[in-house]
Amino acid sequence: MSIRLGIMGYGNLGRGVECAVRQNPDMELKVVFTRRDPASVKVLTEGAKVVSADDAADYKDEIDVLIICGGSATDLPVMTPKYAKLFNCIDSFDTHANIGSHFANVDAAAKESGKVAMISVGWDPGMFSLNRAYAEAVLPEGKAYTFWGKGVSQGHSDAIRRIEGVKDARQYTIPVESALEAVRSGANPDLSTREKHTRECFVVLEEGADAAKVENEIKTMPNYFADYDTTVHFISEEELMRDHAGIPHGGFVIRSGKTGWNKENNHVIEYSLKLDSNPEFTSSVLVAYARAAYRMNKEGQCGCKTVLDVAPAYLSPKSGDELRHELL
Amino acid sequence: MSIRLGIMGYGNLGRGVECAVRQNPDMELKVVFTRRDPASVKVLTEGAKVVSADDAADYKDEIDVLIICGGSATDLPVMTPKYAKLFNCIDSFDTHANIGSHFANVDAAAKESGKVAMISVGWDPGMFSLNRAYAEAVLPEGKAYTFWGKGVSQGHSDAIRRIEGVKDARQYTIPVESALEAVRSGANPDLSTREKHTRECFVVLEEGADAAKVENEIKTMPNYFADYDTTVHFISEEELMRDHAGIPHGGFVIRSGKTGWNKENNHVIEYSLKLDSNPEFTSSVLVAYARAAYRMNKEGQCGCKTVLDVAPAYLSPKSGDELRHELL
């Protein structure tokens, strides 16, 4: 019998989940919940229903795991504790500073219902977190670095769009190659924010806007750009659509550390992702963890989990024997 | 209270474990078991005992986890099932073809004793296995590649040493850079054995040996060298000692895969290791998994486990809160 999935929210991430489910024959998309008018939402999967989010509770016994595809700022802090009372859940909550309180809220809800709810699943937090944790456990005397990019930062693109005179914008975060090389060499450099990443912005102006003023506002924007070397390119709307329509991303987690009685030997562990589509890759991770949530709950586990709490074998449709034979 | 460890076997791997324990303040090396005369074995750790392997059973209640540092060919198939009857155990069994039967033997012993015994811990099998499993679960429609090196292959060096006229030898396995690049590009190439790795040999001849004959014997040796492009360098014993004393190794696990309704987006996941000391890195992994074995057994688990069965959080001395705060 397939694992029956629901998707809450049908944006980039929800559509990515739908595509990922198609690649996993042990899973089936049963229903997409939406806050829009269900009649206005067309999904790709034959046989999957589109239902108002208000009626989600009616599907309590018809789906095994709900994948919540909402935003971290306002959606997930409400949605995940709410739905963990009804379903095994997965979310991709990525506001690092608030993970502690989100975990506590979701844990209470999921323990009450006896469900498993996994938060902060994706690639960072997610696959990158795993790699930070494994590398630190194996090389305790060392130093870890995370670099992001080259990729589109949605948050930074939005911040530019809010500037007066800006019609549209795309921002790329780019790791500094010389910093990557220094880290890979095992030199354990101390790197400032500016030394790790640069920011490149492609901006479409409203007619009559003052380019110099917009450029200055971008480059001096606190938190977002002021601490970085930022380049601003003004381009036409056509160029933006033609050359910057994708949502690529990726990055690097690198840890170097010493071993030996006198720390005489150096080791470098590097994990990297090069992603054509940030939301589709995140969705693929969500779906693998949905399988884990289903199985762990079947075994009697409940409460809030993160990727750090999940044994890798739970993610694969393969049996223990198959895994040991094919992948170990 | 510290986790009390024992080491079975004090060669390169056992000494590596001793060094790794020193980097983990929650662990303590209590005893080293040896098949040699214990009086002839000096360890580095103050307060650690050296005891005959024959007396291991006497230490049943004095150590929490035994790290078995024997060879995969003949030691571990006997030792791990034997000691799993007495201790939580870790080994680095790496004969891929026999993992199934080793697992079954160890599982029976560990279930009988109620202990946790983890097999095939290290980097391949081990960290590489984890990365193969995670990447496959996340990108099911893709292809995975494992490359080894640049590094010293002990087995291949030994094979050369057995040739008549060879006094000593060191063999390096080297991944082919163009093959790595093709894989990273997402092209999913089909690669023959010869296209993935080359082999470079540094050989010290006995006096009067026939270099041409030795070189030919190496290059045509079935399984070990015949399927590879192999280079042979004849050097002096002094050069071997000076330039090839280390035991570096490493490698790459790369998976590329497609997502999207029509598989329109490509993704590349790459994990790599660059290790100054193969045995010390392996040892560091063994020690992290010893922590996991101890904890999982405390929770009531028993039987044979591999890295695929262990949630990453068990490997770290940090609490769940600390992990979520610092690494997620």
Q: For residue range B102-128, list pLDDT tens digits in order.
A: 999 999 999 999 999 999 999 999 999
Please, what sign has the CA dihedral across residues A55, A60, A62, A68? Answer: positive
Q: Among B178, B176, B177, which Cα is nearest to B194's?
A: B176
User: CA-based Rg of chain B, rounded to a whole angstrom?
Assistant: 22
Residue A156 and residue A199 in contact, taking contact as beta carbons nearer than 8 Å: yes
- Tokens 């590649």, residue located: B145
Q: For residue range A56-68, list pLDDT tens digits in order.
A: 999 999 999 999 9
Which residue of A120, A127, A265 is in closest CB contact with B277?
A265
* CA atoms of A230 and A193, how far apart (whole Å): 12
Q: Decide if A303 touches B, using CB distance below 8 A.
A: no
Strand ranges, E, within chain B = 3-8, 27-34, 49-52, 65-68, 88-90, 116-118, 142-148, 151-152, 166-175, 197-205, 229-234, 249-259, 265-275, 303-305
Q: Give the number of other Cβ atoms within 10 Å of residue B79's Cβ.
A: 23
Q: Decide if B146 touches A, using CB distance below 8 A.
A: no
Q: Average model confidence (pLDDT) for chain B?
A: 97
Long-range contacts of A46-55 (CB under 8 A, 24+ apart): A48/A18, A50/A10, A53/A8, A53/A9
Q: Which residues of chain A make contact with B261, given a CB cutoff of 8 A?
A: 18-19, 22, 44
Backbone angles phi, psi at A78, to 5 degrees: -90, -50
* Distance from the B229 Cα atom to the nearest Cα atom in chain A, whole angstroms: 27
Q: Which residues of chain B make contact with A141, given a CB cutoff of 8 A?
A: 23
Q: Decide if A298 touches B, using CB distance below 8 A.
A: no
* CA atoms of B143 and B132, how far apart (whole Å): 10
Q: Among B289, B255, B291, which Cα is nearest to B272's?
A: B255
Give mean pLDDT, residues A22-49: 97
Assess whether pLDDT exceeds 90 at residue A1. Answer: no
What is the ipTM, given to two decimal places? 0.97
Q: Among A236, A161, A173, which Cα is nearest to A199's?
A: A173
Q: Which residues of chain B make contact with A280, given a CB cutoff of 8 A?
A: 259-260, 265, 267
Backbone angles phi, psi at B176, to 5 degrees: -80, 120
Q: Among B179, B217, B190, B178, which Cα is nearest to B201's?
A: B217
pLDDT of residue A123: 98
The encoded tokens of residue B178 equal: 């163009």
CB contact under 8 Å between B133 and A276, yes or no, is no
* CA atoms of B175 and B124, how far apart (whole Å): 15
Residue B205 and residue B238 in contact, taking contact as beta carbons nearer than 8 Å: no
**DSSP assignment of A177-199:** HHHHHHHHTT------HHHHEEE
CB contact under 8 Å between B140 and A324, yes or no, is no
Residue of A nearest to B266 (CA): A276
Give mean pLDDT, residues B225-232: 96
Q: Among B307, B286, B290, which Cα is nearest to B12's?
A: B286
Residue of B nearest to A25 (CA): B140
Which residue of A276, A312, A315 is in closest CB contact with B266?
A276
Collapsing DSSP to helix, strand or coil, B72 comes out as coil
pLDDT of residue B1: 81
CB contact under 8 Å between A281 and B274, yes or no, is no
Residues 175-214 of B with CB under 8 A from A: 184
Q: Decide if B133 touches A, using CB distance below 8 A.
A: yes
The CA angle B109-B112-B118, to the nearest 5 degrees, is 45
* CA atoms of B158 and A195, how far apart (whole Å): 46
Best to test chain A binding among B18, B138, B147, B295 (most A CBs inside 10 Å): B138
Residue of B nearest to A93 (CA): B328
Which residue of A100, A130, A141 is in closest CB contact with B325?
A100
Pairing of strands B116-118, A3-8: unpaired
Which residue of A134, A271, A320 is in closest CB contact with B312?
A134
- Tokens 């026939």, residue located: B210
* Distance from the B64 Cα atom to the nearest Cα atom in chain A, whole angstroms: 19
- Tokens 């911040």, residue located: A159
Backbone angles phi, psi at A309, to 5 degrees: -100, 5
* CA atoms of A152 and A173, how far apart (whole Å): 6
Distances (CA, A) of B77 to B32, B108, B150, B292: 20, 13, 29, 22
What is the separation of C-alpha B76 from the centre of its chain, rounded to a whole number of angstroms? 13
Residue A115 and residue A87 in contact, taking contact as beta carbons nearer than 8 Å: yes
pLDDT band at A300 (very low <50, low <70, confident <90, very high): very high
Q: Decide if B282 touches A, using CB distance below 8 A.
A: no
Which residues, including other chains, have CB under 8 Å from residue A242's CB and lie 6 or more apart?
none
CB contact under 8 Å between A259 and B281, yes or no, is yes
Q: For residue range A66-115, list pLDDT tens digits in order.
A: 999 999 999 999 999 999 999 999 999 999 899 999 999 999 999 999 99
pLDDT of residue B160: 97
Residue of B nearest to A124 (CA): B328
The encoded tokens of residue B265 equal: 């987006």
CB contact under 8 Å between A284 and B138, yes or no, is yes
* Distance from the A223 Cα atom to the nearest Cα atom in chain B, whole angstroms: 21
CB contact under 8 Å between A311 and B309, yes or no, is yes
Residue of A nearest to B145 (CA): A327
Assess whether pLDDT exceeds 90 at residue B17. Answer: yes
Which residue of A134, A139, A280 is in closest CB contact with B260?
A280
Which residue of B268, B270, B306 is in closest CB contact with A328?
B306
Torsion on CA atoms B184, B185, B190, B192, rounded to nearest 10: -50
HSE-up of A89 (CA within 13 Å, CB side)?
32
DSSP 8-state secondary structure symbol assigned to residue B127: H
Q: For residue range B294-326, list pLDDT tens digits in order.
A: 999 999 999 999 999 999 999 999 999 999 999
Q: Among B128, B127, B157, which Cα is nearest to B246's?
A: B157
Q: Which residues of chain A make contact with B101, given a CB cutoff of 8 A?
A: none
* CA atoms of A108 and A99, how far apart (whole Å): 14
Residue A306 and residue A103 in contact, taking contact as beta carbons nearer than 8 Å: yes
Q: Average model confidence (pLDDT) for chain A?
A: 97
Q: Note the pTM of the prediction, 2 decimals.
A: 0.97
* CA atoms of B141 and B135, how far apart (whole Å): 10
- Tokens 């050359």, residue located: A243
Residue of A nearest to B12 (CA): A260
Q: Decide if A4 touches B, using CB distance below 8 A.
A: no
Q: Decide if B301 touches A, using CB distance below 8 A.
A: no
User: What separation, in Å, do the N-terminal and C-terminal C-alpha atoms of chain B show?
Assistant: 27
* CA atoms of A173 and A142, how far apart (whole Å): 26
